[in-house]
A and B are shown apart, each in its own frame.
Chain A
Amino acid sequence: MINAYRAAMLNRRDFLGRAGSGLSGIALSQLLTSQGLLANTPRPPAIDPLRPNAAREPQFQGAAKRVIVIFCSGALSQLETFDYKPELIRRSGQPLPGAAAGFKSFQGENGNLAAPQFAFQPRGECGKMTSDLLPRIGALVDDFCFIHSMTSKTNTHGPGENFLSTGFTLDGFPSMGAWATYALGSESENLPSFVAIPDPRGVPQSSVNNWGPGFLPAVFQGTPFNQQRPIGNLQAPAGVTPATDRAARRYLQFLNERHQEAFAGDTELAARIASYELAARMQLSVPELTDLSSEPTSLRKLYGADSSDPVKSGFARNCMLSRKLIENGVRFVQLFNGAYAMGEGVGNWDGHRKLKQQYEIHGAILDQPVAALIQDLKSRGLFEDTLLALVTEFGRMPTFQKGASGRDHNPEGFTIFLTGAGVKAPFSYGATDEFGHRAVEDVVTMHDFHATLLHLLGLDHEALTFYHNGIERRLTDVHGKVLTGLLAT
């Protein structure tokens, strides 16, 4: 029976039926897909209700096995980082051509064009111009595939974060990590398949919606924890000895198995027993994973985990945690840089008022740990089949806001970069106009980014669906195209 529930969890019999006899169907669909004949056919994954986290085959051979998304929350300025615009420097202090005096954007009136607040210089063998704000990341530029023509459809942080993380501006849709693990499961027996790592300063604006399951089964949601705030309820209650805890588990097992006897064949009951087993394994594996004391001092230094700034060392430790998660088979890590607990600009990239001063603080936190993470992945051979993306919800205006030395929100053109599995590097895709204001060449939507990300994982964004409320839902809504121009060949 194919109904609304089928996509959530097949029952065990269906699962076995599909896993066995469905192969020919999958082969056929691959054939048809490759010939462009099956673009709109939903092909939701077949999920074993007893092992919803088990690794599943992609729809086709993808370059990436796993993903790290580094989310710079607050709207990281393209103009202070990677989008070098000599014309903006030359015309600094002049009005933005074509704009009425005092034209309004998100926060209100804008002033004149303002040069980047940090100097640019050529880096790497390719000589790509990047700014002095992020020198260590800039030094790795030969490995990066920049997208300079990103756009968003909202200029408001909350909806913008939602759009980036879920493909929809509204709350309540599944996050990209949830979609990826729904499709592919996990390579780890002992860990959740999707982990969200909030910034040491707190959660981003849209908070849990960034890693929520939406209407997908809750098992695919991101499990949020970081070095500062570990998984809740991971330890036995205070005063319960390990021996008693083990005995309690055994006793629970006895009760459940006895109960199960009368319900042989009921998979939901069996799945619950299995979930207690994974929980017990996590109780052991997660503390071990989050314990960084066994990491060499030199490595801790490389990441900046020894920094006297607790935010920087905290973020560095979260970067180290990301690598360990990836190394241990976690499918999708969403690592946050920036939080919204303290308001605009203070704990994030939302530089409205005094952009230079704020970015000096945030740049120092981001730069070294991320650069170290990339190097660490490379040295462990994880870089080839891990996709790492550094993203932000939208960009910033080429003008300063009226009466301020900061930039307002700009969803019409901004920069992100991809590195690792499956992308051309060094490479720059798309471009903004001469002031870095609007994307004008190979304009990329968030949906395109999502389609490309899924493609790199071996998933067809049009076929990875889940029926909800009248629609076969996708991460990309009804839009999106794979950016074939930036794929490694």
Chain B
Amino acid sequence: MPVLRASDGIRSIRVSGSPFLGLGLRLLVASIVALGLLSPGEAAPDPDHWSFQDLHTYTLPDNGEPNPIDAFVLKRLKSKGLTISKPAPPAVLLRRLSLDLTGLPPNPRDQARFQTGWAADPKQASADLIDRLLASPRYGERWAQHWLDAVRYADTHGFEVNTPRPNAWPYRDYVIRAFNEDLPYDRFIFEQLAGDTTGVDAATGFLVTAAALLPGQVGKDEESIRRARQDELNEILVNTATTFLGLTVHCARCHNHKFDSITQRDYYQLQAIFGGVHYGERPMRDEEKDRNSKLVALQGQIEQAENALLALGLRPPVNARHNIERFPATTIRYLRFTILDTNGAEPCIDELEAWSVPHNGGSPSNVALASEGTAASSSGDYHDPINHKLSHINDGNYGNSRSWIAKQLRNGWVELDFGKPILIDKVTWGRDHEEHYKDRLAIKYRIEGAKEPGQWTTITSSKDRLSSLDPAGLDAPRALAITHYQKLLRDRDRFSQKSLIFGGIFGQPPIAHLLHLGDPSQEREEVRPDTPAIFGSLGLSDKSSGPARRVALARWISSPQNPLTARVLVNRIWHAHFGVGLVDTPSDFGAMGGRPSHPKLLDWLADHFMENDWSIKKLHRLIVSSRIYQQASHPRQAPQAQDADNRLLWRFRPRRLEAEAIRDSILQITGSLDLSMGGPGFSFFKANTNYVRVYTPKENFGPAEWRRMIYAHRVRMEQDGVFGAFDRPDAGLICARRQQSTTPLQALNLFNSRFIQTQSTLFARRLEKDGGERLEKRIDLAYRLCFCRPAEPEEQGTARDFITEHGLAQFCRVLLNSNEFLFLP
């Protein structure tokens, strides 16, 4: 055991040293390393690393603080000779809580309500406010964003083509819902890893949030294919290990982790858990049953409506999905469907069904099925041995990939031999019952029957079908019947849209191997699916199913015995409230990550969190009720000199709002925010269908884009033309903490963009409408909306002068650019 580990040396400086001392000691350590006294490779990772230890149980400091957070933090401050700042004024507290918990500023009504409550009982008023904010649906929209950053959620596939991933959003909505409903965190973890096993399909979007190469983009050579697959699996691993565990397991892909007790073998064991997960869409089963029963009912109604139309002498035109041919019952052995013309190309039928007239009141059955002994023949088949075969025409399966296509252009025939004469009165058929395809549809056809070979009689044909259904110019009963029928068809279209989720496709995992140097062409020994060895074993066999692997992993991660899970989560929440976590590297709790500034508090909070049913809302309440959170934010000279980074929490550190909070706040202040929730969302970019997508930011926004920014399509690597510059992560890599940069482009965008111009004008209109006739009142309202406080006399004077000369909209433009507006106070 070396006396001094390189990582120890550097780490201890991080928590205690001044920068100068730090540099010196780092040089010393580095020199020792460089001189060969200790090579970094030999600096054995520490199996006793703090975050791998069980949670310690600490007794609360006995300093009379009712909130345990204050008890810990104040004790620490006192030991350093520092004090907490005075409480933030109520208006600041209100603004801070609203922006922090919901991402929106308080409106004047909230302000009045809070003020009245505060006058009566400050404690009660702030408790009520916190409850109200946590209960607001706006809370989930705000806090889901923090989570989506950490897992780099996006609505495009990334890489060069960066095409849309149109069914990613159910996962985004799931996360919003989970926060709003305060889904217990252990459940939240389980569902994201293995929700497919409990019917929560949307949750597994978590597994595949990363960018992925589409099949056509990977090279055709074996090496490219293997490498792309390894990259996919690596991304799943990155999500799982960093998000839940704060572990940089991915650093062990090519060699043992340099700093943490994670071996390359551990990496491939963990990877084997996800060996069956592929990037792709699947139907959401949670809704499927419901949808199917609705569809069956609708199909019945459509048949009735068609009968009603027939009775009025109207036969609807053919459709690609499902056509009904009714005729007087007839006994035949042979049935021939002759296509005379299509709407283009060789004709296609995915299923041809013939319905027997039941005996003794039974139900009709499809006698055309091959499984009933019926044989099919044709005029010739299109060559496609996989999707389009003659045997598909009566195999009982719907869909384009289970269909028959004739050999001839625009015509052809298919014949069924039932084996014996059967009494039938209905034939049904479709081009594609799933209606992904509408081409190759038979529009002119004839159906014939025969008892003996060759003795064909026409049973029905397309002759009596209308070419289109148009209620115009018809009498009322006919027009009504058509309208009703068309509505049913639309309903069928709507309900048959399968809800898809880009949530992974699951197959049986192959045998996994360790890859030498991470190189897919250098397979070494087999590995079993498991956790990193330092945490024990899941006891899975290499034959265990994919879901069983993920379930076992999810249970292990969400177990109260896991030393990392609760620590990492409470730290994430703390980080989002204060701007810096107790551990300042929220997705790295390893040796290269930060050490906790308040280790006892971190463990106490983690324990308390689990004791309280893993409730995130209870955790918020505890944190934001503390004196530490509610203190003022002004710098003070003495503590500033001692602890400029505020790690000891002697003030609440003000910080610039994130892109989403700025945009959402502007929209709310100007009165244009659309609060509708969920669904596919809206785009900041002009439409474009290039093979390689080109995303040109829209410059003009209308009400359709005035929803909260979390519902904006997240285009990987591309940013909205105005707010992208505000350190919005690009959804390339995971983002545990956003950068807080200040750039001239931010200034240009916020000062000059058309978005701001439009919103300034709308803001001015709102002030005119709601602020009354007197300018003083309008200025006051503007201050309340933007800063949550009245304008002071001096501010009134300057504002009045400016508005008189340059107008109200310019005044609004300036307020929306001010530091007071842009910072969490």
Q: Which A residues contact B (CB, under 8 angstroms)?
A: 1-6, 8, 10-11, 13-14, 17-18, 21-22, 25, 28-29, 32, 36-42, 52, 104-108, 154-159, 161, 170-173, 192, 202-203, 205-209, 212-219, 223, 231-238, 240, 244, 247-248, 251-252, 254-256, 258-260, 262-266, 268-269, 271-276, 278-279, 282-283, 340-343, 409, 467, 469-472
Q: Which residues of A contact B823 (CB under 8 A)?
A: 268-269
Docked complex Cα distance between A232 and B684 (Å): 15
CB distance B690 to A22 under 8 Å? no
Docked complex Cα distance between A2 and B25 (Å): 12
CB distance A231 to B27 under 8 Å? no
Overall SS of chain B's interface: loop
Docked complex Cα distance between A40 and B592 (Å): 15
Query: Can you name the residue of chain A whose Cβ is closest to the Cβ of B161?
Result: A158
CB distance A172 to B739 under 8 Å? no
Min CB–CB distance A109 → chain B (angstroms): 9
CB distance A202 to B739 under 8 Å? no
A sample of 13 inter-chain contacts (CB < 8 A) reads A1-B644, A1-B645, A4-B584, A40-B33, A42-B26, A104-B221, A170-B211, A218-B727, A233-B751, A233-B753, A342-B690, A343-B690, A470-B587
CB distance B717 to A275 under 8 Å? no
B159 touches which one: A17, A159, A283 (CB < 8 A)?
A159
B722 touches which one: A21, A40, A233 (CB < 8 A)?
A233
CB distance B588 to A469 under 8 Å? yes
Q: Which residues of B contact A278 (CB under 8 A)?
A: 744, 747
Q: B interface, how many residues as a size bin?
A: 35 or more
Min CB–CB distance B807 → chain A (angstroms): 8
CB distance A171 to B733 under 8 Å? yes
Query: Can you name the residue of chain A whose Cβ is closest to the Cβ of B10?
Result: A2
CB distance B159 to A237 under 8 Å? no
- B137: CB under 8 A from chain A? no
Q: Which of B50-58, B65-73, B403-411, B812-820 contacts A (4 or more CB under 8 A)?
A: B812-820
Which residues of B113-147 have CB atoms within 8 Å of chain A's CB atoms?
none
Docked complex Cα distance between A260 and B593 (Å): 34
Q: Which residues of A contact B359 (CB under 8 A)?
A: none
B635 touches which one: A37, A263, A275, A469 (CB < 8 A)?
A263
Docked complex Cα distance between A41 and B32 (Å): 11
Given the known A-B contacts A105-B221, A157-B160, are A208 and B719 also in contact in the complex, defined by CB atoms under 8 Å? Answer: yes
Which of B22, B587, B819 has the largest number of chain A CB atoms within 10 A? B819
Docked complex Cα distance between A272 and B726 (Å): 12
CB distance B645 to A3 under 8 Å? yes
Given the known A-B contacts A3-B14, A106-B224, A340-B692, are A233 and B749 also in contact in the complex, defined by CB atoms under 8 Å? Answer: yes
A106 touches which one: B220, B643, B737 (CB < 8 A)?
B220
CB distance B746 to A275 under 8 Å? yes
Beyond A172-B730, A234-B752: 14 further Cβ-contacts under 8 Å? Answer: A5-B584, A154-B224, A156-B218, A156-B219, A159-B159, A173-B732, A214-B733, A219-B742, A234-B748, A259-B820, A265-B635, A341-B694, A343-B691, A472-B592
Q: Which residues of B contact A467 (CB under 8 A)?
A: 592
CB distance B640 to A470 under 8 Å? no
Q: Which residues of A contact B736 (CB under 8 A)?
A: 469
The interface bits of chain B over 496-507 (1 if a CB of A lies within 8 angstroms of the residue's CB, else 0) are: 000000000000
Q: Which residues of B contact A156 (CB under 8 A)?
A: 159-160, 213, 217-219, 224
Query: Can you name the residue of chain B whose Cβ is closest to the Cβ of A237?
Result: B757
Q: Which residues of A contact B697 (CB under 8 A)?
A: 232
Query: Can you name the residue of chain B whose Cβ is closest to the Cβ of A205?
Result: B160
Q: Which residues of A contact B378 (CB under 8 A)?
A: none
Q: Which residues of B contact A218 (CB under 8 A)?
A: 725, 727, 739, 741, 743
Which of A216, A233, A244 has the largest number of chain B CB atoms within 10 A? A233
Query: Can you name the residue of chain A whose Cβ is closest to the Cβ of B24?
Result: A25
- B488: CB under 8 A from chain A? no
Docked complex Cα distance between A172 and B721 (Å): 19
Q: Which residues of B contact A172 (CB under 8 A)?
A: 152, 717, 730, 732-733
Q: Which residues of B contact A205 (CB under 8 A)?
A: 160, 692
Docked complex Cα distance between A201 and B213 (Å): 24
Min CB–CB distance B356 → chain A (angstroms): 51
Query: Can you name the residue of chain B whose Cβ is closest to the Cβ of A218?
Result: B741
- B480: CB under 8 A from chain A? no
Q: Which residues of A contact B814 (CB under 8 A)?
A: 248, 251-252, 255
Which residues of B775-816 have CB atoms within 8 Å of chain A's CB atoms?
795, 798, 802, 805-807, 810-811, 813-815
Given the known A-B contacts A171-B733, A252-B814, A255-B818, are A469 and B587 also in contact in the complex, defined by CB atoms under 8 Å? Answer: yes
CB distance A237 to B637 under 8 Å? no
CB distance B30 to A41 under 8 Å? yes
Query: Can you name the residue of chain B whose Cβ is closest to the Cβ of A273?
Result: B819
A208 touches which one: B30, B242, B580, B717 (CB < 8 A)?
B717
Min CB–CB distance A1 → chain B (angstroms): 5
CB distance A268 to B740 under 8 Å? yes
CB distance B211 to A171 under 8 Å? yes
Given the known A-B contacts A217-B739, A471-B251, are A266 and B635 also in contact in the complex, defined by CB atoms under 8 Å? Answer: yes
Docked complex Cα distance between A254 and B815 (Å): 11
Docked complex Cα distance between A282 and B752 (Å): 13
Which of A10, A251, A259 has the largest number of chain B CB atoms within 10 A? A251
Min CB–CB distance B741 → chain A (angstroms): 4
Docked complex Cα distance between A265 and B721 (Å): 32
Docked complex Cα distance between A268 and B739 (Å): 12
CB distance A219 to B694 under 8 Å? no
Min CB–CB distance A39 → chain B (angstroms): 7
Min CB–CB distance A452 → chain B (angstroms): 23
Docked complex Cα distance between A271 and B740 (Å): 11
Docked complex Cα distance between A409 and B218 (Å): 12
- B494: CB under 8 A from chain A? no
Docked complex Cα distance between A4 and B584 (Å): 7
Which residues of B704-734 have CB atoms within 8 Å of chain A's CB atoms?
716-719, 721-722, 725, 727, 730, 732-734
The list of the 10 closest CB pairs from A to B, nearest first, reads: A172-B732, A158-B160, A171-B732, A172-B733, A470-B248, A279-B747, A205-B160, A218-B741, A41-B30, A237-B757
- B656: CB under 8 A from chain A? yes
- B35: CB under 8 A from chain A? yes
Min CB–CB distance A4 → chain B (angstroms): 5
Min CB–CB distance B27 → chain A (angstroms): 6
A254 touches which one: B24, B691, B695, B798 (CB < 8 A)?
B798
Q: Which residues of B contact A159 (CB under 8 A)?
A: 159-160
Given the known A-B contacts A217-B741, A248-B814, A278-B747, are A469 and B585 also in contact in the complex, defined by CB atoms under 8 Å? Answer: yes
CB distance B743 to A275 under 8 Å? yes
Docked complex Cα distance between A343 and B216 (Å): 14
Given the known A-B contacts A5-B584, A156-B160, A171-B158, are A17 and B20 also in contact in the complex, defined by CB atoms under 8 Å? Answer: yes
Q: Which residues of A contact B211 (CB under 8 A)?
A: 170-171
Which of A170, A223, A234 has the largest number of chain B CB atoms within 10 A? A170
Docked complex Cα distance between A383 and B756 (Å): 43
Which residues of B630-664 have CB atoms within 8 Å of chain A's CB atoms?
633-635, 637, 640-641, 643-645, 647, 654-656
Given the known A-B contacts A278-B744, A278-B747, A470-B593, are A25 and B27 also in contact in the complex, defined by CB atoms under 8 Å? Answer: yes
Query: Can you name the residue of chain B whose Cβ is closest to the Cβ of A467?
Result: B592
Q: Which residues of A contact B619 (CB under 8 A)?
A: none
Q: Which residues of B contact A4 (CB under 8 A)?
A: 584-585, 593-594, 737
Min CB–CB distance B210 → chain A (angstroms): 9
- B329: CB under 8 A from chain A? no
Query: Can you name the residue of chain B whose Cβ is closest to the Cβ of A108?
Result: B220
Docked complex Cα distance between A231 and B744 (Å): 11
Q: Which residues of A contact B817 (CB under 8 A)?
A: 252, 276
CB distance A37 to B35 under 8 Å? yes
The interface bits of chain B over 559-600 (1 if a CB of A lies within 8 angstroms of the residue's CB, else 0) are: 000000000000000000000100011011010111000000
Which of B722, B743, B822 has the largest number of chain A CB atoms within 10 A? B743
CB distance B221 to A32 under 8 Å? no
Docked complex Cα distance between A154 and B248 (Å): 24
- B40: CB under 8 A from chain A? yes
